[in-house]
């Protein structure tokens, strides 16, 4: 029973030390970013992320020995560096929310302004198997296969029969990696995200 109690006490102490270390690293990272006197409303996302990352790495190098006891971080591994940044950022929220809100707002505006790729052309065929494939021939006579997989605002153009062969359309799509059971491998498919009839 004593061993179990000691094991729990040791585990609790390790968790408490890890939380305290993350609090210290978050405080140092906040102070570092704020010391740079950045204009959080007008700074580019790349610049803000670079400054934030530099501050997190600076704090990490100060506490490397203690942090490595909790979690190993490899500078050549993007995932472990991303995890470090996320862990510190979570703690920073209570210390300097302005910085995190600027990062979040910038990422949200980047995602909303990112435009889907489009193909403009003429519908050459509709193929119905497990999913509907709309074949579109572009101005260079290149044939594109686009899959109707998800709902989107203008899906009714297809479902209500408002588009037919030979119609001129603009198809917005996203590339999604899906498993192809015939070839037994993953490959990229163009999944329709919007249809515009011309």
Judge whether 75 and 81 are in contact, CB under 8 Å. Answer: yes
Residues 51 and 21 in one domain: yes
Domain count, the chain: 2
Residues in the chain where the model's pLDDT stays below 70: 1-18, 74-75, 105-114
Residues 137 and 69 in one domain: no
> What pLDDT, on the 0 to 100 scale, is given for residue 161?
92
> What pLDDT, on the 0 to 100 scale, is given for residue 154?
92
Q: What CATH number is attached to the domain comprising 154?
A: 2.40.50.140
> What pLDDT, on the 0 to 100 scale, is given for residue 89?
81
Residues 84 and 129 in one domain: no
CA angle 76, 80, 83 (to 5 degrees): 145
The residues with which 17 forms a beta bridge, in sequence order, are: none
Residues 165 and 78 in one domain: no
Residues 84 and 172 in one domain: no
The domain in which residue 42 lies consists of: 2-113
Judge whether 136 and 119 are in contact, CB under 8 Å. Answer: yes
- Give the percent of the chain with pLDDT over 70: 84
Give the residue from 113, 145, 173 where a domain finishes.
113
Residues 98 and 146 in one domain: no
């Amino acid at each position: 029973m004593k061993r179990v109690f000691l094991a729990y006490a040791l585990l609790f102490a390790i968790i408490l030390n890890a939380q305290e270390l993350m609090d210290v690293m978050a405080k140092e990272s906040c102070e570092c970013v704020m010391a740079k006197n950045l204009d959080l409303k007008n700074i580019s996302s790349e610049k803000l992320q670079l400054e934030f990352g530099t501050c997190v790495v600076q704090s990490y190098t100060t506490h490397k020995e203690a942090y490595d006891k909790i979690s190993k971080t490899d500078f050549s591994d993007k995932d472990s560096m991303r995890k470090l940044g996320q862990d510190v950022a979570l703690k920073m929220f209570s210390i300097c929310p302005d910085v995190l809100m600027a990062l979040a707002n910038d990422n949200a505006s980047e995602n909303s302004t990112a435009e889907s790729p489009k193909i403009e052309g003429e519908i050459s065929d509709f193929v119905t198997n497990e999913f509907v494939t709309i074949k579109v021939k572009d101005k260079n006579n290149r044939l594109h296969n686009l899959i109707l997989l998800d709902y989107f605002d203008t899906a009714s153009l297809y479902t209500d029969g408002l588009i037919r062969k030979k119609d001129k359309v603009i198809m917005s799509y996203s590339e999604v990696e899906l498993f192809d059971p015939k070839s037994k491998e993953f490959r990229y498919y163009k999944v329709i995200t919007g249809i515009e009839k011309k």
